[in-house]
């Protein structure tokens, strides 16, 4: 059902792709087949409830390996919050994806993945302990920690770049304890991601059941399609197609949108909005992919110089650059521009955005300036409070802090410092 994009072979079941994370050749898994949704689905689209809609979108990707009732149950637990589309300007909506438990869009992928794993662990008597190892640029850590907290048979190890995540992000991933360990890495996100990938091909570690919970894992990547389906449904724009701007770092989210389109969702154009880590905007200009050294920005969840999921995007477009160009525009924005984006939204629309959402807003605005007839949404991927200092400095006002965040601030952080791969390896071997 899933094959490696490296050799287009090694087809595995959903369960195997879920537990392996990365294919044996270190490449990413991709579904063997992407089926278009049938006319029956579209005829009933508007009146279908969100859970049923999600079930129809996702069922083929779990390959009948999870029975209907169980899959439905996982979906209900995953989508237990709202995804409002808020009008912020003419033809411009913010699709808020941050109303989940850790206030960033990654909650959906993390919860779906933990639900699927929990199902297999419970029902197929997997006796071995599973270690989930995950690199985070900020929000993945909290979402994965929350999704897997207390799940029997699973240990979670989170690698995050020292000093490069926000205070609230760090609290979310270091204060849970229980089956969650947080490793603070001297270096950027790309270094964390590189180390995680290395553990999977390390023979000394292959006796351990190691897997990843980054968007390289199909169970985290694929459910992100739901934002686009739900967004389209919530907008209620009959017979019209959409333009979507996605704040992008590792490009899992954008790539899920493209998969949704491949299934038939009427999205006309995608905008990838990045920060100074502009590997993809450069690619779209030159057609040449050149990974870059990561630079730190105020949109830290997008500080990725070598986005893992880009290979999936190329595959969706059959590695045809011209076809990709027709449907994707990529812009980069500096921190200064992003800060003024937050101000713009606040002063002109009384809309408070986080820096990532503001970047996406800028991308959409730029695109609509040349395509004024289109209707667009930008994905607001995190709650502004997660980037408190940046947002307050930008709008020059204090913002209200939700109760759950105030509680978090009283908790004690637990973390272990890691300098290099050897230290990570001995940590894993010692468990
Ligand atoms: C992870 C993240 C992104 C980037 O998403 P990708 O799927 O990695 O491109 C954007 N915004 C926020 C708030 C995030 O946490």
Query: Residue 203: what are its φ and ψ, rounded to 5°?
Result: -60, -30
In this predicted structure, what is the pLDDT of residue 216?
A: 87
Question: Residues with catalytic annotation?
Answer: 106
Residue 409 placed within a domain: no
Instruction: List pLDDT tens digits, range 250-282.
Output: 999 999 999 999 999 999 999 999 999 999 999
In this predicted structure, what is the pLDDT of residue 137?
A: 83
Residue 42 placed within a domain: no
In this predicted structure, what is the pLDDT of residue 348?
A: 95
The radius of gyration computed from the CA coordinates of the chain, to the nearest angstrom, equals 20
Range of the domain at 356: 82-102+221-400
Residue 68 placed within a domain: no
Does the beta carbon of 257 sit less than 6 angstroms from any atom of ligand 1? no
Atom of ligand 1 nearest to the CA of 354: 13
Residue 1 placed within a domain: no
Residue 313 placed within a domain: yes
Does the beta carbon of 383 sit less than 6 angstroms from any atom of ligand 1? no
Residue 405 placed within a domain: no
For residue 271, give the nearest of 379, 377, 364, 354 by alpha carbon. Answer: 364
Total domains in the chain come to: 1
In this predicted structure, what is the pLDDT of residue 239?
A: 65
In the reported structure, the alpha carbon of residue 301 is separated from the centroid of ligand 1 by a whole-number distance in angstroms of 5
Residue 353 placed within a domain: yes
Report the CATH number at residue 280: 3.40.50.1100
**Three state DSSP letters for 17-36:** HHHHCCCCCCCCEEECCCCC
Token duo for residue 122: 């419970």
**Dihedral-angle region of residue 275 (phi above 0 means left; psi in -120 to 50 means alpha; beta otherwise):** beta
In this predicted structure, what is the pLDDT of residue 111?
A: 95
In the reported structure, the alpha carbon of residue 387 is separated from the centroid of ligand 1 by a whole-number distance in angstroms of 13
Does the beta carbon of 303 sit less than 6 angstroms from any atom of ligand 1? no
In this predicted structure, what is the pLDDT of residue 138?
A: 83
Q: What parts of the chain have a pLDDT lower than 70?
A: 239
Pocket test for ligand 1, best of 94, 98, 105 (most atoms within 8 A of CB): 105
Query: pTM of the predicted model, to two decimals?
Result: 0.94
Atom of ligand 1 nearest to the CA of 250: 8
In this predicted structure, what is the pLDDT of residue 125?
A: 77
Does the beta carbon of 169 sit less than 6 angstroms from any atom of ligand 1? no
Residue nearest to atom 2 of ligand 1 (CA): 301
In this predicted structure, what is the pLDDT of residue 26?
A: 84
Does the beta carbon of 215 sit less than 6 angstroms from any atom of ligand 1? yes
């Amino acid at each position: 059902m899933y094959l490696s994009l490296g050799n287009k072979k090694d087809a595995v079941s959903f369960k195997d792709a879920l537990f392996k994370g990365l294919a044996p050749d270190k490449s990413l898994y991709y579904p063997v087949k992407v089926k278009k949704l049938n006319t029956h689905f579209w005829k009933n689209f508007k009146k279908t409830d969100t859970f049923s809609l999600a079930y129809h979108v996702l069922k083929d990707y779990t390959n009948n390996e999870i029975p209907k009732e169980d899959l439905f149950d996982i979906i209900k637990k995953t989508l237990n919050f709202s995804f409002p589309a808020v009008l912020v300007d003419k033809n411009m909506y913010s699709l808020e994806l941050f109303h989940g438990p850790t206030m960033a869009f990654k909650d959906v992928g993390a919860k779906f993945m933990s639900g699927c794993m929990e199902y297999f662990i419970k029902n197929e008597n997997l006796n071995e302990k599973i270690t989930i190892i995950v690199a985070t640029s900020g929000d993945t850590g909290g979402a994965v920690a929350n999704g897997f907290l207390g799940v029997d048979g699973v240990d979670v190890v989170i690698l995050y770049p020292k000093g490069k995540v926000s205070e609230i992000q760090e609290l979310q991933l270091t204060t849970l304890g229980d089956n969650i360990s947080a490793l603070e890495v001297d270096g950027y996100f790309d270094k964390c991601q590189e180390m995680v990938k290395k553990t999977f091909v390390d023979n000394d570690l292959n006796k351990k059941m190691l897997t990843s919970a980054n968007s390289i894992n199909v169970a985290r990547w694929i459910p992100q399609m739901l934002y686009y389906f739900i967004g389209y449904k919530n907008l209620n724009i009959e017979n019209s197609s959409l333009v979507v701007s996605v704040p992008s770092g590792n490009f899992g989210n954008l790539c899920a949108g493209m998969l949704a389109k491949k299934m038939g969702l009427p999205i006309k154009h995608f905008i990838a909005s990045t920060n100074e880590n502009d590997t993809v905007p450069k690619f779209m200009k030159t057609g040449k992919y050149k990974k870059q050294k990561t630079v730190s920005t105020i949109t830290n969840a997008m500080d990725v110089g070598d986005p893992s999921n880009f290979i999936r995007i190329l595959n969706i477009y059959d590695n045809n650059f011209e076809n990709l160009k027709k449907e994707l525009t990529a812009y980069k924005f500096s921190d200064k521009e992003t800060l003024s984006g937050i101000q713009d939204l606040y002063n002109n629309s009384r809309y408070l955005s986080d820096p990532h959402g503001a970047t996406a807003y800028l991308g959409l605005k730029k695109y609509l300036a040349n395509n004024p007839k289109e209707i667009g949404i930008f994905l607001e991927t995190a709650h502004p409070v997660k980037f408190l200092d940046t947002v307050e400095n930008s709008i020059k006002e204090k913002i209200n802090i939700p109760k759950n965040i105030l509680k978090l601030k009283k908790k004690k952080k637990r973390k272990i410092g890691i300098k290099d791969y050897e230290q990570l390896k001995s940590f894993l071997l010692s468990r």
